Amino acid sequence: MNILSKLFGHNSQDGAATTHLTASEYQQRFVEAQVPHLLLDVRTADEFGEGHIAGARNLPVQEVAQKMGEVPTDKPVILYCRSGNRSGMALQLLQTAGYTNVYNAGSLHDLVKQGLPTQPATRR
């Protein structure tokens, strides 16, 4: 893997840039490297309130199209949800709108398992 691949995402067999990050890749490429980015939790507000990755911002996938203007274009956007499905949908919406520096980090469970700090539930 060359340095450009490490910085901007490794390539798939057909040469297309990948937009999926494992929890480990996210940890290494963005957290440990201290790369400014937006971590976006696309679960519902209730799910987000039950606990999320520290520093994440909530934008439910159902609201991505309407609130796309709130998503920055000048830094990487990393998406996650409960299983990786909704973050995949949000990824497609953002890419269709022209976002090029956006990644699906998959599930909250995998990110927590990687050791990323969490913000506990805010509701009782």
Q: Is residue 4 part of a domain?
A: no
Q: Is residue 11 part of a domain?
A: no
Give the range of the structural domain holding residue 60, as residue numbers without chain letter: 19-120
Identify the active-site residue in 23, 59, 79, 81. Answer: 81
Distances (CA, A) of 68 to 26, 34, 97: 22, 25, 9
For residue 50, what pLDDT is reported?
95
Reported as a single tens digit per residue, the pLDDT across 93-117 is 999 999 999 999 999 999 999 999 9
Location of structure tokens 């796309």: 68
| CATH assignment of the domain containing 31 | 3.40.250.10
Q: Is residue 7 part of a domain?
A: no
- Whether pTM > 0.75 for this model: the answer is yes
Q: How many domains does the chain have?
A: 1
81 in active site? yes
Q: Is residue 10 part of a domain?
A: no
